[in-house]
Amino acid sequence: LEQVGEAVLQTALEKWQKENPRTYNSYKKASEKEAEQEYYPFLTSISYDLACRFHLHKEQYPGIRIQASSRRVYEDSTCAPHLMGRLGLMNKEEYEEKRFQGYIATDRLGKTGIERYYENQLKGKRGLKLIEFDKNTLKNNIIFEDQDPVKNEVQLTLDFPLQKFTETVLDSYPGKDGKGPRLLACVLLRAEDGQVLAMATTPRYDLERFGKDYPQLKDDPRHPLLNRCIQNFIVPNPGSVFKLVTAMALLEEGIATPDHTADCQGYLFNPRSFRCHIWEYRRGHGTVDLPHALEQSCNIYFYRYGELLGIEKLAYWSKKCGFGQKTGIEGDGEQAGLVPTPEWLQGNTFIPPEERSWTTGLTRLCAIGQKIEVTPLQVARFFCALGNGGYLVQPHLVHDPEKNYRESEPLCSSNTMKELLKGMELVTYGERGTGNRYGLQAFGFIGKTGTADTSKGEEPHAWLAGFAPKERPEVTLVLMAEKAGHGGEVCGPLAQKILDFYFKKLKNRIPEEF
Ligand SMILES: [Zn+2]
């Protein structure tokens, strides 16, 4: 009773004391004795049978009592477990803190994810019923009743069928040569304001079995406890997806105009370093302007102009576009990623002192997204801005219609935006677009592929980011497959399936509309 809440309890007790001082006094005596003892749960989820047997012989077990508690029931305990989060019993410290806030020792507390973030709303309110039992007449008399528990719910922006379908698509990705690894993340946001429609990551875990599976989960080298949309063991680099940030900076800073060109012979100075990806075929892209450099993802263009832009300006624009900082989405464990600068390198004690001086080469690599570290959610947020006229959004899982989720100023001028969109359209619609072979035009999808180099001998990270339909962007999609291969080849077919589900199943629209 002591944990029910001061005010309610006080009212009830006063009423009781007034109406029946005799029984009240005996209760008082008993409860004082009880309050001297602390109870902590040591066995949970015991069977009904065991509980009954205990009750019949409880005098044999002094100091032990049975306490009923609530249990979370899942519609699907494998769906978005990282977002939902886990409930768990309180440890001693948590209990000491919570016991005067309406909690009892057997209550479960949100430990991660939404469960933790919205604990105050989700915990609900304990009701109270005081019953007087007359041992002579064997009748119960209800002295006080407070059974008006507030209906506590938190409604997520997630589209359950879309979330489920996206997870299935990620799970079914066979990996290169059917061998894996299958470490994937996919974020779908509403382009207009950053509402999270789906946020899928694979591998996952089962909320219902978490306690039992934990020993294997924590030692699994694939790190299934990570929500790869916002966190990672090593935060991946975005590769060419990032060229849109560089392109925005180049145009806004006046370093390049849309028709400035670069000549790509397949490498910058010699074939040994600073190559373009096309050098794989021992040739170059020839002369490319900005939209076509985006279409074919030419590294040479971005090496050259990125060098002219300089790291300070590139870092400024990266941060403006939301990189190197958390998005602030509800939940926990979100990582900020990294936008390196000369100051950061200088102060990085993990790197040998002789390697701490910034070089032009590093600026070039940043310009093509190689030394940057990003989360798929950060990329999705940036692409929402590209789709909604330039406004950076606040990704969120619970939508408040009163709140404004868009920044008031656009990231760049509408002229700049026009050129970026031209480049993105060429990626899927252009003759030489890196994403033109996967049927994404059926949904009016435009965007950018990325193939981000990893350690030598390992496959690159595959990325795809963009939105659809291009005329009235409503959904932003970002896919990332770790060490999986080429961006378009790996992510294109997966994106096709997800967008097909989104438009045909959810929106019931025919592709011909685009
Ligand atoms: Zn090139």
- What is the DSSP secondary-structure string of 251-277? HHTTS--TT-EEEESSBSSSTTSSB-G
- C-alpha 458/C-alpha 366 separation (Å) is 20
The position carrying tokens 């990704």 is 395
Q: How far is the CA of 281 from the centre of ligand 1 (A)?
A: 11
- C-alpha 369/C-alpha 11 separation (Å) is 64
Contacts of 339 (CB under 8 A, 6+ apart): 315, 318, 319, 323, 324, 366, 372
Q: How far is the CA of 284 from the centre of ligand 1 (A)?
A: 5
- Parallel, antiparallel, or unpaired for β 261-264 and 196-202? unpaired
Query: Is pLDDT of 36 > 80?
Result: no
Provide mean pLDDT across the span 494-512. Answer: 85
pLDDT recorded at residue 356 = 94
Q: How far is the CA of 67 from the centre of ligand 1 (A)?
A: 69
What DSSP character marks residue 442? G
pLDDT recorded at residue 98 = 85
HEC-encoded secondary structure of 405-417: CECCCCCCCHHHH
DSSP string, 82-129: HHH--EEE--HHHHHHHTTTT--TT-EEE-SHHHHHTHHHHT----EE
Q: How far is the CA of 363 from the centre of ligand 1 (A)?
A: 17
Q: How far is the CA of 268 from the centre of ligand 1 (A)?
A: 9
- C-alpha 347/C-alpha 141 separation (Å) is 72
- C-alpha 370/C-alpha 487 separation (Å) is 14
pLDDT, tens only, 98-152: 877 878 777 889 999 999 999 988 887 777 788 888 888 888 888 778 776 666 7
Q: How far is the CA of 434 from the centre of ligand 1 (A)?
A: 12
Q: How far is the CA of 270 from the centre of ligand 1 (A)?
A: 13
Global confidence as pTM: 0.88
What DSSP character marks residue 430? S
pLDDT, tens only, 39-48: 666 677 778 8
Q: How far is the CA of 377 from the centre of ligand 1 (A)?
A: 28
Q: How far is the CA of 433 from the centre of ligand 1 (A)?
A: 13
3-state secondary structure at position 479: strand
- C-alpha 190/C-alpha 199 separation (Å) is 12
Smallest CA-to-CA distance from 329 within 394, 376, 399, 374 is with 394
- C-alpha 470/C-alpha 428 separation (Å) is 11
Above pLDDT 90, what percent of the chain? 69
pLDDT recorded at residue 8 = 63
Provide mean pLDDT across the span 456-463. Answer: 92
Provide mean pLDDT across the span 311-329. Answer: 98
Smallest CA-to-CA distance from 390 within 416, 357, 372 is with 416
Q: How far is the CA of 299 from the centre of ligand 1 (A)?
A: 5
Q: How far is the CA of 437 from the centre of ligand 1 (A)?
A: 19
Provide mean pLDDT across the span 228-256. Answer: 97
pLDDT, tens only, 444-455: 999 999 999 998
Q: Are 367 and 333 in contact (CB under 8 A)?
A: no
Helix axes 414-429, 376-387, angle to 10 degrees: 110
| Cα separations in angstroms, 398 against 109, 120, 195, 300, 506 | 20, 14, 8, 43, 20
Residue 49's pLDDT band, with cuts at 50, 70 and 90, is confident
Provide mean pLDDT across the span 427-438. Answer: 96
Query: Is pLDDT of 317 > 60?
Result: yes
pLDDT recorded at residue 510 = 60
Q: How far is the CA of 290 from the centre of ligand 1 (A)?
A: 12
pLDDT recorded at residue 30 = 63
Q: How far is the CA of 197 from the centre of ligand 1 (A)?
A: 36
- C-alpha 102/C-alpha 1 separation (Å) is 10
Half-sphere exposure of residue 430: CA atoms within 13 angstroms, side-chain side: 21
Q: Are 442 and 468 in contact (CB under 8 A)?
A: no
pLDDT recorded at residue 13 = 72
Q: How far is the CA of 272 from the centre of ligand 1 (A)?
A: 15
pLDDT, tens only, 162-187: 999 999 999 999 887 777 779 999 99
Arithmetic mean of pLDDT over the chain: 90
Residue 2's pLDDT band, with cuts at 50, 70 and 90, is very low
pLDDT recorded at residue 1 = 37
Q: How far is the CA of 302 from the centre of ligand 1 (A)?
A: 9
- Residue 105: count other Cβ atoms within 10 Å of its Cβ: 17
Q: How far is the CA of 423 from the centre of ligand 1 (A)?
A: 15
